[in-house]
């Protein structure tokens, strides 16, 4: 058992300790203690105490000037949310014991590595199940043989922890996985969603998804994906749709790592990644800012992008056809967008998240079409193409760039020609350059006129025609055809419907 000095805790642990009453035992438990053993700082802090969970959470929130709400009144659990200046948030949950005492609480948890408690008052460590030894030996072991059947969502957690930390599942843990899989059907969509996003937002999400498919869990979580296995594709694809999908996720993770804020040479181990860094490395900070935002407080844009990668080809089985000796998937983008939207609703994603998934999957072929044209005709995307790309995708265009690059690499793998990869990078660099460096030229130019201006100048009533004319003016401005208010009005005037014969002019 290591000393307290060998553990790495969030500074917030000391802040919490300072505002606790002396007569109330409070223990840090779960993943935060596990991470402290592994010299990692956790941003999710769980505290267990014998009573007054919500009351203590409210007290801590007041002392830290943080947000508070009752998380689970039935279990006397309160949540404190501490927001940092950079926008990152730390969640502090205060829950009463699950059982009569601390030992009962710990033995009722999922894995022994999560069943260690740290006493905030005495600094003592409590480890009744030998979790510290399991951590040292990188072993994932259930606290009880019934842990998976008691709460089947722990299956997803087991996969995530095993992959993320390189743990080996103990034989009894591994054997208990498959028999408990059917129990996932009784888990609420919200809990499945939260565990799924922890996988997608963590390391090696493709390996996690593959393992979940191997044990039969994917059919209970993302059933639309089960039909992707064995759906063959014509060249240049080198894998069937399922394995291609997992490869896209793997390459997406490689690309994000190579474009992370701090450059690490070990991320550019092959020529494709090296060229990626050379062409797009100047946008590291921009990518970091992009992914620091979120569409909903508890889920990241990164996780949503990986979910889009999972579903980007989900429409292929239903759209498969044979033409001239080749397998084609016409319209798979539209079908896949529909499938992802329906799954998003079933997982209780927000409307903004569902819309982002729809945009990503519905438009994921655009990067391929533009890059292939650059290879065939040596023609870069026009200003009109760039304007329309971002008109239709907005901020999601940044995600589409990354998804398109990962899709390209997964399509060709080791057969990827250098000229094709260079074309993809040139196309994506041009898009990002316009989005981040000169948006007023070709993405969102300052308006020359508004709807009121056009209605007054052209004597038009309110209606859809005004919106159509405004869009035509914006596109003409973005493509450099007009630059003044007078030109905008004249362009709109020339687009007015001609009066029918017999009508007054």
CA 126 to CA 102: how far, in whole Å?
9
Query: Would you call 16 helix, strand, or coil by DSSP?
Result: helix
H or E, element range at 79:
strand 77-83
Which residues fall within 8 angstroms of residue 497, CB to CB, at 6 or more apart? none
pLDDT of residue 52: 92
SS3 readout for 187-198: CCHHHHHHHHHH
Lowest-confidence region among 40-49, 331-340, 361-370: 40-49
Burial of 423 (0-12, 13-18, 19+ CB in 10 A): buried
- pLDDT number for residue 4: 56
Which of the four pLDDT bands, split at 50, 70 and 90, describes residue 441? confident
Q: What is the number of other CB atoms lying within 10 angstroms of the CB of residue 504?
A: 4
Residue 500 pLDDT more than 60?
A: no
What residues does each domain of the chain span?
A: 4-137, 142-221, 223-442, 451-494
Any idea which residue has 């973005």 for tokens? 478
Query: pTM of the prediction?
Result: 0.90
Residue 5's pLDDT is: 57
Q: How far apart are CA 498 and CA 505, in angstroms?
A: 8
Query: Buried b vs exposed e over 134-164: b needs ≥16 C-beta within 10 Å?
Result: bbeeebbbbbeeebbeebbbbbbbbbbbbbb
**pLDDT at 501 (0 to 100):** 52
Angstrom CA distances, 280 to 139, 228, 432, stand at 40, 32, 9
User: What CA–CA distance (Å, rounded) separates 408 from 419?
Assistant: 12
Q: What burial class does residue 241 get, using C-beta atoms within 10 Å of its C-beta: 0-12 exposed, 13-18 middle, 19+ buried?
A: buried
Query: CA 160, CA 325: separation in Å to the nearest integer?
Result: 42
* CATH topology for the 142-221 domain: Hydrophobic Seed Protein (1.10.110)
Whether residue 263 is predicted with pLDDT greater than 80 in this model: the reply is no
Contact 93, 43 (CB under 8 A): no
**Residue 210: pLDDT over 90:** yes
pLDDT band at 505 (very low <50, low <70, confident <90, very high): very low
Q: What is the DSSP string of 366-417?
A: HHHHHHHHHHHH--PPPHHHHHHHHHHHTTHHHHHHHHHHHHHHHHHGGG--
pLDDT at 54 over 70: yes
Structural domain 4-137, CATH architecture: 2-Layer Sandwich (3.30)
Whether 503 has a pLDDT exceeding 60, the answer reads no
Q: pLDDT averaged over the chain?
A: 93
Residues 34 and 41: beta-carbon distance below 8 Å: no
pLDDT band at residue 498 using 50, 70 and 90 as cut-offs? confident
Q: What span, in angstroms and rounded, lies between the C-alpha atoms of 10 and 88?
A: 13
Closest to 402 in 3D by CA, of 237, 287, 303 = 287
Helix residue ranges, H only, 235-379: 241-258, 271-280, 284-292, 301-311, 316-319, 332-346, 351-362, 366-377
- For residues 163-192, give the mean pLDDT: 95
What is the predicted pLDDT for the residue at 264?
A: 78
Count of CB atoms situated within 10 Å of the CB of 323: 9
Q: Could you tell me which of 433, 410, 432 has the C-alpha nearest to residue 421? A: 410
Q: From residue 187, give the alpha-carbon distance in Å to each of 72, 153, 191, 303.
A: 17, 7, 7, 21
SS3 string, 426-474, reads HHHHHHHHHHHCCHHHHCCCCCCCCHHHHHHHHCCCCCHHHHHHHHHHH
pLDDT single digits (tens) 276-310: 999 999 999 999 999 988 898 778 999 999 999 99
3-state secondary structure at position 478: helix
Residue 84: pLDDT over 90: no
Amino acid 338: pLDDT: 97
pLDDT at 2 over 80: no
> Can you read off the two tokens belonging to residue 287?
């990518």
- Range name among 83-92, 168-177, 465-474, 490-499 with the lowest pLDDT average: 83-92
149 neighbors 166 (Cβ within 8 angstroms)? no
pLDDT over 50 at 59, yes or no: yes
Q: Do domains 4-137 and 142-221 have the same CATH topology?
A: no
Question: Closest Cα partner for 233 from 244, 223, 224, 225?
Answer: 244
Q: At what angle do helices 383-393 and 396-412 cross, to 10 degrees?
A: 110
pLDDT higher than threshold 50 for residue 241: yes
pLDDT score for 408:
98
Q: 125 by DSSP, 3-state: which? A: strand
Which pLDDT score is estimated for 202?
92
Rounded Cα distance, 89 and 257, in Å? 22
Residue 275 pLDDT greater than 50, yes or no: yes
Q: Which helix (H) or strand (E) holds 96?
A: strand 89-96
What pLDDT was estimated at residue 499? 67
Q: Do 101 and 121 touch, CB atoms closer than 8 A?
A: no
Distance CA 213, CA 220 (A): 10
């Amino acid at each position: 058992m290591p000393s307290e000095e060998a553990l790495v805790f969030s500074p917030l642990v000391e802040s919490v300790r300072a505002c606790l009453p002396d007569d109330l035992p409070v223990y840090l438990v779960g993943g935060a203690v596990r991470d402290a053993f592994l010299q990692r700082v956790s941003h999710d802090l769980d505290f267990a105490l014998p009573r007054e969970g919500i009351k203590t959470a409210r007290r801590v929130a007041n002392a830290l000037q943080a947000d508070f709400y009752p998380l689970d009144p039935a279990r006397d659990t309160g949540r404190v949310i501490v927001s940092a200046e950079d926008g990152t948030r730390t969640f502090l949950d205060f829950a009463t014991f699950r059982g009569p005492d601390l030992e009962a609480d710990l033995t009722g948890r999922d894995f022994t590595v999560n069943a260690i408690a740290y006493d905030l008052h005495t600094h003592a460590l409590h480890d009744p199940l030998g979790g510290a030894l399991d951590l040292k030996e990188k072993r994932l072991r259930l606290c009880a043989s019934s842990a998976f059947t008691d709460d089947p969502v722990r299956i997803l957690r087991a996969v995530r922890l095993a992959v993320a930390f390189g743990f080996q599942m103990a034989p009894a843990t591994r054997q208990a996985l498959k028999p408990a899989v059917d129990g996932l059907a009784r888990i609420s969509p919200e809990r499945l969603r939260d565990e799924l996003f922890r996988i997608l937002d963590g390391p090696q999400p493709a390996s996690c998804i593959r393992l979940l498919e191997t044990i039969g869990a994917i059919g209970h979580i993302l059933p639309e994906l089960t039909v992707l296995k064995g759906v063959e594709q014509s060249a240049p694809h080198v894998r069937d749709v399922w394995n291609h999908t997992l490869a896209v996720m793997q390459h997406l993770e490689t690309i994000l790592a190579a474009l992370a804020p701090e450059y690490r040479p070990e991320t550019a181990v092959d020529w494709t990644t090296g060229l990626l860094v050379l062409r797009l490395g100047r946008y590291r900070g921009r990518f970091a800012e992009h992914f620091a935002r979120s569409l909903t407080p508890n889920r990241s844009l990164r996780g949503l992008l990986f979910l889009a990668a999972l579903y980007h080809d989900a429409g292929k089985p239903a759209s498969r056809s044979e033409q001239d000796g080749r397998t084609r998937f016409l319209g798979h983008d539209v079908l896949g967008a529909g499938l992802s939207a329906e799954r998003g609703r079933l997982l209780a994603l927000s409307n903004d998240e569902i819309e982002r998934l729809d945009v990503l999957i519905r438009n994921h072929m655009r990067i391929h079409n533009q890059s292939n044209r650059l290879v065939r005709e040596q023609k870069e995307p026009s200003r009109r193409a760039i304007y329309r790309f971002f008109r239709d995708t907005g901020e999601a265009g940044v995600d589409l760039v990354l998804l398109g690059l990962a899709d390209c690499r997964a399509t060709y793998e080791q057969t990827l020609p250098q000229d094709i990869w260079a074309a993809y990078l040139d196309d994506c660099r041009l898009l990002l350059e316009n989005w981040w460096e000169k948006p007023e030229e070709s993405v969102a130019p300052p308006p020359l006129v508004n709807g009121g201006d056009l209605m007054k100048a052209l004597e038009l009533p309110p209606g859809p025609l005004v919106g159509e004319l405004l869009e035509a003016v914006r596109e003409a401005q973005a493509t450099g055809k007009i630059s003044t208010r007078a030109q905008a009005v004249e362009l709109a005037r020339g687009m007015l419907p001609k009066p029918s014969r017999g009508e007054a002019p």
